[in-house]
């Protein structure tokens, strides 16, 4: 069971009382009443407070984001206060164009609710130098 933190200004209504209740013919019974009223927390999905912007990385970038880097730039919250974020990425290459899509999932561990976000980066990977196939007469290859 998860314990949900109280919001500012909320208080628990709890306590107990023990008393003797008289019955007919002079008998009495000791009774203890106990109560614990807790605030109701909305069961809304978690939310992302901050996400990296994604975008172009140019040609042959040296610092391509990975899952750990992205998770370091993400912040998420939720009603219970117990939210984790997971990241997975997929690379798609089309010629020399590369796209990396991060799928982010924020999970509220108490309410078992999720939120999802995508962050996309793209770049060109030019790994082969140009090849000169012919030169004009008198040229040098």
Q: What is the mean pLDDT of each run of 10 residues along the chain (141 residues)?
A: 58 79 76 78 87 96 96 92 94 95 95 94 87 77 58
Instruction: Return the structure tokens found at 18.
Output: 């023990």
**Helices (DSSP H) in the chain: which residue ranges?**
67-72
pLDDT on residue 16:
84
Question: Who's near 113: CB < 8 A, 6+ residues apart?
Answer: 43, 44, 45, 46, 78, 107
In a domain, 134, yes or no: no
Domain membership of residue 63 (yes or no) is: yes
For residue 58, tell me if it sits in a domain: yes
Range of the domain at 117: 47-124
For the whole model, what pTM was predicted? 0.66
In the chain, the DSSP E strands lie at 13-22, 28-37, 47-50, 55-59, 75-77, 83-94, 97-108, 113-124
Considering the domain boundaries, does residue 112 fall inside one?
yes
Please state, in angstroms and rounded to a whole number, the distance separating the CA atoms of residues 116 and 32: 48
Phi, psi for 71 (deg, rounded to 5)? -60, -30
Q: Which residues pair with 138 in a beta bridge?
A: none
Task: Indicate the number of domains in the chain.
Answer: 1
């Amino acid at each position: 069971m998860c314990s949900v933190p109280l919001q500012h200004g909320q208080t628990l209504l709890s306590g107990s009382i023990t008393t003797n209740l008289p019955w007919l013919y002079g008998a009495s019974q000791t009774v203890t009443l106990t109560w614990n009223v807790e605030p109701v927390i909305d069961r809304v999905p978690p939310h992302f407070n901050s996400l990296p912007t994604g975008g172009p990385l140019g040609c042959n970038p040296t610092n391509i984001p990975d899952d750990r880097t992205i998770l370091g730039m993400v912040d998420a919250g939720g009603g219970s206060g117990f939210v984790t974020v997971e990241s997975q990425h997929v690379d798609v290459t089309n010629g020399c164009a590369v796209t990396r899509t991060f799928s982010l999932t924020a999970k509220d561990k108490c309410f078992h609710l999720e939120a999802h976000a995508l962050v996309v980066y793209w770049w060109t990977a030019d790994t082969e130098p140009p090849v000169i196939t012919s030169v004009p007469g008198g040229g040098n290859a």
